[in-house]
Amino acid sequence: MRRTALFEEHLRLGARMVDFAGWEMPVQYTGVIDEHRAVRGASGIFDLGHMGEIWVRGPGAGAALDEALVSRPTALQAGRAQYSIVVNESGGMIDDLVVYRVAAEEWLVVANASNAERVAALLADRVGGVADVADESTSTAMIAIQGPHSVDVAAACFDIGEGAALRGLGNYECRRSEASVGALRLPLLVARTGYTGEDGFEFYLKNEHAVTLWRALLATEVPGLSVPQPIGLGARDTLRLEAGMPLYGNELRETLTPFDVGLGRVVKLDKVGGTVGGAALAARAAAGTGAGRTLVGLKVTGRGIARQGHEVHRPGGGLVGRITSGTHSPTLGYPIALADLDATQAPFPLNEPLDVLIRGERIAAVVTGVPFVPKRTTRT
């Protein structure tokens, strides 16, 4: 298995390690619920060094990315980011991404660990003729700090000037920096983005600087605030589910289009030059919400926790879909889930009762809105 630049740090902190998309990653340190609550109530630090970082550079990079992805990266000003998706010719989702316009002719595309190599190859094929594509995933570390205290902790970790710049960074904004951490200068790309529904930052830096930043963030003490905790993949998953954020391989799959999972807003079909899969996406958009699949949130009101793969039925009726993600919500105190349902079997409005088949027993649930836990907002 692959290891991030922080592997030895995780062992030193007593993390339990697991295989995740071919990477040996920490699933928990002190416990999933404890770590989850630390992020919701204070701040937590995440090692995301398994993610893919692909740079696209050159005068034609923006226009080429417009055609390669479903969004419109050229609509971004330098220093801004957007959520995006790369699809196949049939409109099926290959991966969901975050795209940063770091400079006028320089873009960073961040892919999921399980799809990073494929996305890099696709971009090289779709964009490489007019722009330079460089996959720097193996040399790049990514560290996130998330939670209501994350801004104060991150600002205190760096020198005064960089701390003020961090506070001034808006939601889905990014900036390059050479920040001082103690006596060291660390070249960084910092973004006010995340995958927890909380405020916070994601830092991109070279592997050789990862331990320095990791230790500095974990050691930063702010009067009146708790010291940040290291957070594993277990709590990262419960946090993102409470925030209603989809996960590739669960909610997002190549057999589905963005319109099947409520992400039609990301698709821009009126781009000059079109987009890969554009014809199929346009046809799916025209079919409307009553076609294909639909993704809904569920609150489980009966006794049991819905898990991925569990069947969803109408009460006393037939199969309408399956659970894609489910857990007991540490914040809300009851089980929640996301479900992939057959949209052709009539709408699934809020508060509609459904049953989840758990260990052979029908357990009551009700359709609810997402996010389950309201997202924290940052200055924009």
Give me 235's structure tokens: 């709590």
Confidence (pLDDT) at 159: 87
Query: Span 296-307, mean pLDDT?
Result: 97
Three-state secondary structure string covering the chain: CECCCCHHHHHHCCCEEEEECCEEEEEECCCHHHHHHHHHHCCEEEECCCCEEEEEECCCHHHHHHHHCCCCHHHCCCCEEEEEEEECCCCCEEEEEEEEEEECCEEEEEECHHHHHHHHHHHHHHHCCCCEEEECHHHEEEEEEECCCHHHHHHHHCCHHHHHHHHHCCCCEEEEEEEEECCEEEEEEEECCCCCCCCEEEEEEEHHHHHHHHHHHHHCCCCCCCCCEEECHHHHHHHHHHCCCCCECCCECCCCCHHHHCCHHHCCCCCCCCCCCHHHHHHHHHHCCCCCEEEEEEEECCCCCCCCCCEEECCCCCEEEEEEEEEECCCCCCEEEEEEEECCCCCCCCCCEEEEEECCEEEEEEEECCCCCCCCCCCC
Residue pair 326/336 in contact (Cβ under 8 Å)? The answer is: yes
Higher-pLDDT residue of 183 and 58 is 58
Strand partners, 181: 184
**Is residue 211 pLDDT above 50, yes or no?**
yes
Q: Could you give the CA distance from residue 214 to residue 125 in angstroms, rounded to a whole number?
A: 35
Q: Could you give the CA distance from residue 286 to residue 284 in angstroms, rounded to a whole number?
A: 5
Task: Select from 32, 2, 21 the least CA-distant residue to 230.
Answer: 32
Q: Is the dihedral of CA 156, 111, 86, 92 positive or negative?
A: negative
Q: Could you give the CA distance from residue 252 to residue 375 in angstroms, rounded to a whole number?
A: 21
**Is residue 94 pLDDT above 50, yes or no?**
yes
Q: Could you give the CA distance from residue 237 to residue 198 in angstroms, rounded to a whole number?
A: 13
CA angle 332, 10, 177 (to 5 degrees): 85
Query: Span 122-151, mean pLDDT?
Result: 96
**Is residue 379 pLDDT above 80, yes or no?**
no
Ordered by where they begin, the domains of the chain are: 1-286 (3.30.1360.120), 289-380 (2.40.30.110)
Query: Span 65-77, mean pLDDT?
Result: 97
pTM, full prediction? 0.96
Residue pair 299/373 in contact (Cβ under 8 Å)? The answer is: no
Confidence (pLDDT) at 46: 98
Task: Select from 27, 6, 19, 16 the least CA-distant residue to 231.
Answer: 27
Confidence (pLDDT) at 271: 87
Confidence (pLDDT) at 160: 82
Share of the chain above pLDDT 70, in %: 99
Residue pair 238/32 in contact (Cβ under 8 Å)? The answer is: yes
Give me 34's structure tokens: 């404890």
**Is residue 198 pLDDT above 50, yes or no?**
yes
Q: How confident is the model at residue 378 (pLDDT cuts 50, 70, 90)?
A: low
**Is residue 290 pLDDT above 70, yes or no?**
yes
Residue pair 209/143 in contact (Cβ under 8 Å)? The answer is: no
Q: Give me the phi and psi of 299, to 5 degrees please.
A: -105, 120
Q: Could you give the CA distance from residue 158 to residue 161 in angstroms, rounded to a whole number?
A: 8
pLDDT digits (tens, 9 = 90+) for 329-369: 999 999 999 999 999 998 999 999 999 999 999 999 999 99
Confidence (pLDDT) at 377: 62
Confidence (pLDDT) at 353: 98
pLDDT digits (tens, 9 = 90+) for 222-262: 999 999 999 999 999 999 999 999 999 999 999 999 999 99
**Is residue 380 pLDDT above 70, yes or no?**
no
